[in-house]
Amino acid sequence: GENVEQHPSTLSVQEGDSAVIKCTYSDSASNYFPWYKQELGKGPQLIIDIRSNVGEKKDQRIAVTLNKTAKHFSLHITETQPEDSAVYFCAASGGDSGYALNFGKGTSLLVTP
């Protein structure tokens, strides 16, 4: 089945700096790659997603890049703010897993003022 690896597990940046989180996946047939943000005591919430026919997608301060050949994708957050502090999860679906999402282990991001 699909295996999603996520790095780093923790990340601390200063307010205004950029943060980058990277994920790799194993199933070359996977075609949908969402990123979720989870705040304390809440369920994960989608912040951005990308499909395999696109290499990059941007939404204000958040961008995702996808390299299908290398089977990795990354989340970029620019001009970080304290409210960006949360746990971020990457996921992959399609291929053998069908519509089910296979999640990475998560990255705990801390943005210090």
Partner 1 sequence: DAGVIQSPRHEVTEMGQEVTLRCKPISGHDYLFWYRQTMMRGLELLIYFNNNVPIDDSGMPEDRFSAKMPNASFSTLKIQPSEPRDSAVYFCASSTLAGLGNEQFFGPGTRLTVL
Closer CB to partner 1, 37 or 80, in the complex: 37
Closer CB to partner 1, 71 or 103, in the complex: 103
With vertex at residue 67, the alpha carbon angle to CA 44 and CA 23, rounded to the nearest 5 degrees, is 35
The two tokens of residue 93 are: 């679906």
Within 78-107, the residues that bind partner 1 by CB under 8 A are 89, 93, 98-106
Taking CB under 8 A as the rule, which mask of x and - marks residues 33-52 in contact with partner 1? -x-x----xxxxxx--x---
Closer CB to partner 1, 43 or 113, in the complex: 43
Question: Is the CB of residue 84 less than 8 Å from the CB of residue 92?
Answer: no
Is 74 one of the binding residues for partner 1 (CB under 8 A)? no
Give the interface with partner 1 as residue ranges (CB under 8 A): 32, 34, 36, 41-46, 49, 89, 93, 98-106
